[in-house]
Each structure stands twice: as structure tokens, then as C-alpha cells.
Amino acid sequence: MDAQDKRTETNPSDRQTDHYDYLIVGAGLFGSTFARLATDAGKKCLVIEERDHVGGNLYCEKIAGITVHMYGAHIFQTEEDKVWDFVNRYATWKKYGYGYIPEGGYNVLIENLLKDIPVRTGVSYAAFCKDCPDSADIVIYTGPIDAFFDCCHGRLGYSCLDIQIKEIDQEHYQDKAFCLQSRHPAWVQTVEFKYISGEVSDKTVVSWERIQDEWDPNLLPCRPSRYDGNGNYKRYLQYVKEAAKKYPNIVFCGRLGRYMPYNMPETIVEAMKLAQIRLNT
């Protein structure tokens, strides 16, 4: 085992030479939900994630004793019983405003979904394939479909998120969790996380979230602009066609793989649908 594997492997009995029913690329909400459903259906799964943490956009960190959503504030809201029942199996939820958040943050949800499933963080699909080609029957790919094909048909449009997070040495910065600062030229809001989590601290943590329509390689592609009239959807279909022709054993899914602006409940529904088709669950 090399140094990188020592750092990233969460299940030491898992070896690079193993063969898997499913290789799941991306430990975001989609990948984690599908991995759970497939594992519970008796399939052997490996999850790889290029970031150094699991959770995708839901990832949280504790700063000054406050749970901070590192890729933008997330509130969970669903009317679907099957989604609500499902998430309640993996976290305890408390009411926040119009929706809910998990007690202890979204990491609790993701870690419980991935419990006892081998996960390697800090490993991209390209790097993994170099070391372990053909290690799975089916690949569930939740990264951006255009990047998978090196954007050969052109880049798909995404709104991008610029987020700055600051710890502030005072009890409060603003009088509520969300304050809209501007809509033009970009949409900017400040979020004070202790109002969301209910945690008590002498300090506070605030994010400045700016969402812009133009692509910026240094920012997080956050919202697929599927219907923007700039030929994105047509380009997306070219990628879908190419994927079906060249990679029949790779399923492109999740927000970035399907190029759909799913919220969390829709992401779970889509993972459930895929599990139903693939696993008869």
C-alpha cells in the first residue's frame, strides 16, 4: 500500500486488487445514498472521492464550536414521505425555519449513509483508473459529465459559487441567519451559522456567498444552467450520446452527471430510482 492509500483508505481490509459490483465516483449525497442502497442489497461497493472529505456540497466543519456548511448553507425540505423516512434513518433532524437540518450537521447524515462501506478520499476517477482499470462491473459517476469528456463538445454552463467564511470575535454579526446583500451584478448573501445550528459560542462564523452566472475555473460550479438557451442542453445531449456509445458500463448521475439542478430531496429520489432500476430495491 502506498502513502496515499494509507492516508485515504477507511477500510484496511479493502485492497486495490479487489473487484467491485459498483465503483461509485463522488461521495456527495447521490453517491452516498446509492452506495448505501446497493450495499444493503448485497452489492460490493467502493466509493472514491477526489476531495479530501466526503459529503460533496453538504460537507460541514466545526469552527469556534459552530457547525459551518462549507459549500453554502443547506436547508432540507421535502413533502415526500419516502424521502423523509429515509433521511430519518441516518440522522436526527431539527426544525429550522421552513425546513430541517440534521443535528450535528450534514456530516452525520453522510457518515451514517457510508457506514462500513469502503471509501477512498483524495482519489480522482482518472487516477484510480490508472492504478486499477476494470475493477468494477458498473461505475456510478457523479462528477461533471463535460469534464469526464475533457469538454470535447464545449463546456456546459454552470453558475459558480464564491464563498468566503470568517470567524468573527463577537457574539453576533447580524440579527438573523440569512441576509440578502445584493442581487446585481451578482447574488450575494451573508449567512450567520449559529442561528441555523442553535449552537452557543462567544464568537460567530459568517459566510459571504456570491453566486455568479459566468464560469470561473477557480470557483465551485454549483448550479447547472440547463435551460439557459445558450446551447447547453444540446451540448449535454451530445455528451449523453457519446457516453452511451463509448461507456455503456458508466452511469452518469447526480447533480453534475445528469446536469440537473437537483435539491437534496430530488437527489435522494434520483438515487432511489437508480437503485430500483439496477437493484430491484
Ligand X SMILES: Cc1cc2nc3c(=O)[nH]c(=O)nc-3n(C[C@H](O)[C@H](O)[C@H](O)COP(=O)(O)OP(=O)(O)OC[C@H]3O[C@@H](n4cnc5c(N)ncnc54)[C@H](O)[C@@H]3O)c2cc1C
Binding site for ligand X (CB under 6 A): 25-31, 48-51, 56-58, 71-72, 74-76, 124-125, 142-143, 161, 222, 254-256, 262-265, 267
Q: Considering the complex, what minimum distance in angstroms separates the CB of residue 22 from ligand X?
A: 14
Minimum CB separation of residue 56 from ligand X in Å reads: 2
- The residue among 63 and 147 lying less far from ligand X, judged by its C-beta, is 147
Rounded to whole angstroms, the Cα distance separating 121 from 241 reads: 30
Task: Give the residue with the Cβ less far from ligand X, 66 or 221.
Answer: 221
Residue closer to ligand X, measured from CB, 57 or 232? 57
Contact 223, 255 (CB under 8 A): no
Specify whether the CB–CB gap between 109 and 102 falls below 8 A: yes
71 vs 239 by CB, closer to ligand X: 71
CB 267 to ligand X: min, Å: 4
Question: Hey, which residues does 69 pair with through a beta bridge?
Answer: 60
* C-alpha cell, 179: 441576509
- The residue type at 224: P
> Considering the complex, what minimum distance in angstroms separates the CB of residue 171 from ligand X?
25
Residues 6+ apart with CB under 8 A from 150: none
DSSP summary character for residue 266: H
Beta bridge partners of 24: 47, 140
